Amino acid sequence: MNIIAFSNQKGGTGKTTICVNLAAGLVRLKERVLIIDIDPQANSTVSVGINLKPDDLTIREFILGFARLEDVMVDSYISDLSIVPSSPDLAHIEVEISNKNRNQFYLRKAIENSKDVLKSFDFVFIDCPPSLSLLTINGLCASNYVIIPVLADYLSLQGLANLLETIEYVKKNLNPEIEILGIVPNMLDYRLKITEESLQLLRENFKDKLFKNGIKICSRLRESPSFGKAIFDYAKNSQAAIDFLNLGKELKRRVR
Ligand SMILES: Nc1ncnc2c1ncn2[C@@H]1O[C@H](COP(=O)(O)OP(=O)(O)O)[C@@H](O)[C@H]1O
Ligand SMILES: [Mg+2]
């Protein structure tokens, strides 16, 4: 099972966009994907068109062990793409489990207890919040890979050091299995000089950890969440649709 956390404590680097559209791309490449949304902002939940009712079970109940995976998981409008939805309730969980023992492993335990249901998926994608909070640590402890979306600009590269330290800490102390699957450069705008300069820096520092297929800036991609659609169903001939298929193919080569 490939469990991949999408993580970067900086907001707006494309964690959610890449998690959702890469998942949809992998479905087009014949893979079955489960997204687990662990961001209280619930952006990936909304991006695949899920509208929760007030009593629906969500990720909070799953993490706390109050509900089983089969009770919280919902089908998206894309066949072979399911999601464990999030909601603003999840924000309270940090306080709810703050003084519990081994509270970094709640999500991992919930996932381990769901092995049978997970057998019907090839990939589990965990969309993390934009912080290095206990929720993100839960995401990293539950995963065997992490994908890091970055913007090709100076401040984004600055923030990477903190994230890499956190991943190192998790690997050393909590989850020795975790590996960086790769860094995905996002919102690439080749009209700007800083883009090529930043990519060059990333290449020098991360070598083959840098995905060759980044995602270019694409206005259609920014619009698609408001229609609850992945890029393939909103603008199938857009640059982003091409980019996400290529990224999906590269990801499949990396994990196998
Ligand atoms: N390649 C891209 N081109 C254009 N807009 C993008 C691109 N990637 C992300 N966005 C937009 O940028 C914003 C932040 O992206 P998001 O995926 O929500 O980041 P994060 O989950 O890391 O906070 C969203 O409005 C999203 O639609
Ligand atoms: Mg997000």
CATH number assigned to the domain comprising residue 38: 3.40.50.300
Expressed in angstroms and rounded, the spacing between residue 130 Cα and the centre of ligand 2 is 7
Expressed in angstroms and rounded, the spacing between residue 107 Cα and the centre of ligand 1 is 25
Residue 54, both tokens: 């007030």
- Nearest CA owner, ligand 1 atom 9: 14
**Ligand with minimal distance to 86 CA:** 2
Per-residue pLDDT 10s for the chain (256 aa) are 899 999 999 999 999 999 999 999 999 999 999 999 999 999 999 999 999 998 999 999 999 999 999 999 999 999 999 999 999 999 999 999 999 999 999 999 999 999 999 999 999 999 999 999 999 999 999 999 999 999 999 888 888 998 999 999 999 999 999 999 999 999 999 999 999 999 999 999 999 999 999 999 999 999 999 999 999 999 999 999 999 999 999 999 999 7
Q: Are strands 81-84 and 74-75 parallel, antiparallel or unpaired?
A: antiparallel
Query: Is 108's C-beta closer than 6 angstroms to any atom of ligand 1?
Result: no
- Chain mean pLDDT for the chain: 96
Check residue 256 and give its pLDDT: 76
Phi, psi of 101 (to 5 degrees): -65, 145
State the Cα–Cα distance between residues 126 and 69, nearest whole angstrom. 14
**Number of domains within the chain:** 1
Residue 37, both tokens: 């949304």
3-state SS, residue 214 = coil
18 CA closest ligand 1 atom index? 17
Query: Is 14's C-beta closer than 6 angstroms to any atom of ligand 1?
Result: yes
Residues 9-66 have pLDDT tens digits of 999 999 999 999 999 999 999 999 999 999 999 999 999 999 999 899 999 999 999 9
User: What domain range includes position 55?
Assistant: 2-255
